[in-house]
Amino acid sequence: LQQIESVNVTEKFQLVLEPLSDIQSLLGSISETALSVLNQATASNSDLCPFMDVYTKEIILSPWDLDRPTDNTEYKIRGNGGSTTSYDRIGMEDDKSYLGRIYSITGLCSDPSDCCIGSSTVPCQSSPYADCDYGANCAYPCEILKAGIIEGYKTVLQLYDIELAMTADLGISCPVGLAGFDDTCPTQDFQAQYANLTLIGLLEDYKGKIIGTKDSL
């Protein structure tokens, strides 16, 4: 009994809690790598695809909130009459539709015939390498990059969801109130499979019971 009474239960449990804090730090980086890859595409800034956007987790769910130096794209957009497009969100446009719009850059004429900015004029002709979005000889060198941006964005969102859910289940902090999180701490799935308390909550509960048992001896 004397040995039990001399044990500092809180101190012993702290040895378990400290590694969980390290795990939380790792959870916070789950989506970082995918976001970094996404930014390589959205900030590629090549001659053909002059994209210069760098996103952060804080605005990833609302890409229209990114602080940009101009109100409109500096390049022309497909299907927009040879014009640029606004960086503002249009109506109730969702995030993926928004990215699809602002990165849908016009193509280049590989041949002057059957190539122009969309028109019902026949024949459709332009100069070689002129901007285009219509015709058999209009090539779209940035289309693959745009598709990669959309898929990369979806991956970031998936990993961000996992990051938030695991954070909620761990219990070091609770992401309730953060954009994109509409669950509880712990998540409903965790409660259905394990317990109504987070991992930290379970440890604290167990610690309380150990202390209670110790004090009753």
Contacts of 71 (CB under 8 A, 6+ apart): 86, 87, 88
In this predicted structure, what is the pLDDT of residue 121? 64
Which pTM value belongs to this model? 0.84
Which residue is associated with the tokens 């440890």?
203
CA-CA distances (angstroms) from residue 178 to 79, 128, 167? 36, 50, 12
- Structure confidence at residue 204 as a pLDDT band (50, 70, 90): confident
Does residue 215 have a pLDDT over 50? yes
**204-210 contacts, C-beta under 8 A, 24 or more apart:** 207/9, 207/10, 207/13, 210/9
In this predicted structure, what is the pLDDT of residue 107? 96
Cross-strand partners of 139: 108
- Structure confidence at residue 2 as a pLDDT band (50, 70, 90): very low
In this predicted structure, what is the pLDDT of residue 1? 43
Which residue is associated with the tokens 């994109």?
180
Find the mean pLDDT for residues 72-88: 95
CA-CA distances (angstroms) from residue 215 to 203, 205, 207, 210, 212? 18, 15, 12, 9, 5
pLDDT digits (tens, 9 = 90+) for 16-32: 778 888 888 888 888 99
- Tell whether the torsion through CA atoms of 5, 11, 13 and 15 is positive or negative: negative
Contacts of 164 (CB under 8 A, 6+ apart): 175, 178, 180, 181, 183
